[in-house]
Chains A and B, each alone.
Chain A
Amino acid sequence: MSVDPLHVPDVTEPYQPRSGRRGTGFLTEPLRLGGTPSATVGPYLAIGLTWADGIWAAEEGTPGGVWIRGRVFDGAEQLVPDAMIETWQADPDGGFPSPEDPRGAASYPGFRGYARAATVEPPGEFGFFTLKPGRVPDGEGGLQAPHLDVSLFARGLLDRVVARIYFADEAEANAEDVVLRSLPDDAARQTLIATPTEDGYHLDFYLQGDRETVFFAV
């Protein structure tokens, strides 16, 4: 079968300029720029990411403050001594010190909402001082259980991994929490629930293995 190179079918559709909308020349889709790819913090993160006040999500001595401590384990159940954990959370009244909160930025005395702690001293352990968060709306007519959003960074992780910290002494709220309820089973939920200690709470993170922490895609 031969093709006649000069046989061009008649155009039946009007010419579409790049907008896809005839004649306007304007973009009809929002502009999208390619996102910058993530990379590992590497072994030397302490140079760039150490803050003297990193562990104080609430100022030292703030009444009602708690220490949240824990460890990070790798797939061989070895302590990870060069990880960094960051947390972000609501204040005890459920407000966020952020202008991005559509309810308005909250301001709670001595409270920053953000902590950054390395697992350096003692090796593999992190600890930060904060206030237990209040409950915040879940957007579906209910309230979320008190929780912190967590980012974990380390050599050997090419992107951060994201988890949450919940509290074992909030069983009733936890049972209603939309995120915990979305998890497949109780074993999965337990990987996110911190247990009470003398001065606060404790939760270990497992990067791999039978007890691998439930991590989230945000």
Chain B
Amino acid sequence: MTGTPSASGLHLPQYLREAAELRTPVGYADYKSTGLRAPLRTPVDLPHRLTEVTGPVLGGDRVRPEDADLTLRNGGEAVGQRILVYGRVLDSGGRPVPDALVEVWQANAGGRYRHVVDTFPAPLDPHFDGLGRVMTDSLGRYEFMTIKPGAYPWGNHHNAWRPAHIHFSLFGQAFPQRLVTQMYFPDDPLFGQDPIFNAIPAAARHRAISRYDLERTQDNWALAFEWNIVLRGREQTPFETEDDGDVA
């Protein structure tokens, strides 16, 4: 047993946390805006009770099929290298996370976001808004078509450039599984000087990098990158352990 809170005899699953040395810290000195924003006190442990083991059902009704193709917006084709981005959303126990909302946003091929705060003098693309939404299927799979985002400068340090990346936001089925992250591309020469990438502990950085996939690359059309996303899984309950022996 785990000393788990339970609701009148109900066993509540506790969601496992990644070891501290593999988790991105909230603050990181080289990323300057964390200085006044990342909390300084040690967070208080919150065991998972009913509010934590549940989570919103944000159904497919807010996602339209065309939201999975970022290359066709406002009646025309976006400029840039077409890429298929696909993968599976799993939990750390290897179980697929089905029917989960995946939201993505990104810069255009020139490295410019369609946002008032972005003043980088690269052209905006009238046919690219940089927003995508998909639901995972029953096996936890997602995929969307987009263009490869450009690198872009930011003011963090002299000549600072963000490696090409796509922002991802995911809901699992329970509050602890909520994840906002960024997907990178293989072998980016900008990794070395990027504090947002390097804030990820070295042993976990590869998990943020997609894999070029020749097999899914579409002939005469688009390159393909695979990125599997792992949300937090539940601890194995004593019930499940016994079951393993009985069934079969």
Please give the residue numbers on chain A whose beta carbons come within 8 Å of chain B beta carbons, in ascending order. Answer: 30-49, 51, 74-76, 78, 80, 82, 86, 88-90, 96-103, 105, 112-114, 136-140, 144, 147, 149, 151, 153-162, 178-179, 182-183, 207-208, 212-218
Contacts and interface: CB of A to CB of B under 8 A. Distances in A.
Contacts of B27: 157-158
Contacts of B35: 75, 156
A49 B103 contact: yes
Interface string B184-202: 0000000000001001110
Nearest to B240: A30
A81 to B, nearest CB: 10
A33 B233 CA distance: 9
Contacts of A100: 53-55, 173-174
A47 B105 contact: yes
A207 B44 contact: no
Contacts of A37: 18, 22-24, 181, 200-201, 204-205, 207-208
A32 B7 CA distance: 27
A147 to B, nearest CB: 7
Given A48-B169, A86-B178, A147-B51, 18 more contacts: A31-B94, A33-B230, A35-B18, A35-B232, A39-B24, A39-B167, A39-B181, A45-B105, A48-B130, A88-B175, A98-B54, A101-B50, A137-B8, A157-B38, A207-B39, A208-B36, A214-B41, A217-B45
Interface of B: 4-8, 10-12, 15-18, 22-28, 31, 33-41, 43-46, 48-58, 62, 90-94, 103-105, 113-115, 117-118, 129-132, 167, 169, 173-176, 178-182, 196, 199-201, 204-205, 207-208, 229-233, 236
A76 B37 CA distance: 9
Query: Nearest 9 CB-CB pairs, A to B?
Result: A48-B105, A139-B5, A156-B33, A114-B56, A156-B37, A98-B54, A216-B46, A75-B36, A39-B182
Contact of B5 (A39, A138, A162, A215): A138
Most buried by B among A80, A162, A212: A162
19 contacts: A33-B92, A36-B208, A37-B18, A37-B204, A43-B118, A47-B105, A47-B129, A48-B132, A96-B51, A114-B58, A136-B7, A139-B5, A144-B51, A155-B33, A155-B37, A158-B24, A160-B180, A161-B26, A214-B41
A31 B235 CA distance: 11
Contacts of A179: 46
A88 B51 contact: yes
B89 to A, nearest CB: 9
Contacts of B41: 212, 214-215
B158 to A, nearest CB: 19
Contacts of A33: 90-94, 230, 233
Given A37-B208, A47-B105, A158 B38 contact: yes
A158 B173 CA distance: 22
B44 A183 contact: yes
Nearest to A100: B54
B33 A214 contact: no
A59 B135 CA distance: 23
Contacts of A114: 56, 58
Contact of B36 (A34, A40, A46, A74): A74
Contacts of B52: 149, 218
Nearest to A208: B40
Contacts of B25: 158-159
A162 B52 CA distance: 11
Contact of A159 (B7, B26, B104, B205): B26
Given A39-B180, A47-B129, A102 B7 contact: yes
A153 B39 CA distance: 12
Contacts of B34: 156-158
Contacts of B236: 30
A38 B180 contact: yes
